[in-house]
Amino acid sequence: MNKRNALKLIAIYALLTGAIGLIPACSKQGPSFAGIDLTGADYAKDFALTDHNGQPRTLKDFAGKVVVMFFGYVQCPDVCPTSMAELAEVKRLLGKDGERVQGLFVTVDPARDTPEVLKGYMAAFDPTFLALYTTPEKLAVLAKDYKVYYKKVEGPTPTSYSMDHSAGSFVYDTQGKLRLYNRYGSGAALLAADIKLLLQQ
């Protein structure tokens, strides 16, 4: 064997070895999500809240559906309405599969966001979306469990304050397991693709 052929064989061997080394990474278990994968997280496992119709709610109520849960408030000028409109678009993109998606909006402003206000707010986006609320004390406990930040920012009058809060959605699979954190501004198409993967499992 001449030197040139020997070098060719060495190069081929190196390529094959590298390719074989990549096989485990390419065949790893589980889908690849656009959102932040939280599979196996030991927090945000459930909640006990009341919806805008006065019904107590937990994750078990939505078994068989992918649940997308967002923390916000009705008077939010941008992030909240954008996120809810995006979720409504996700349902549209999914077609019939959109019927298996449940949008939840948890208010961080229970003082102003009464059930009537919340009901009207949800109707502006999708009639199947539910707004959830609880007492300020229980909200603080829930937010800590979900690692959600919120803080009242005083305005010129006692009722014209705003709320700083985390921007992003928690996504649960059809078994009620926390799977993803969808960052604000990711876009409806990417979230729809992630939800489609969860619905296929």
Q: How many CB atoms lie within 10 A of CB 12?
A: 10
C-alpha 181/C-alpha 35 separation (Å) is 6
H helices, E strands: number in the chain: 5, 10
Identify the burial level of 23 via C-beta atoms within 10 angstroms of its C-beta, where 0-12 means exposed, 13-18 middle and 19 or more buried.
exposed
Closest CA to 91 of 194, 197, 188: 188
Binding residues: 76, 80, 165
Where b means 16+ CB within 10 Å and e means fewer, 187-199 reads: ebeebbbbbebbb
**β-bridge mates for residue 181, sequence order:** 36, 170
Binding residues for Cu cation: 76, 80, 165
C-alpha 113/C-alpha 107 separation (Å) is 7
Q: How many CB atoms lie within 10 A of CB 175?
A: 11
Which uninterrupted H or E stretch holds 140? helix 136-146
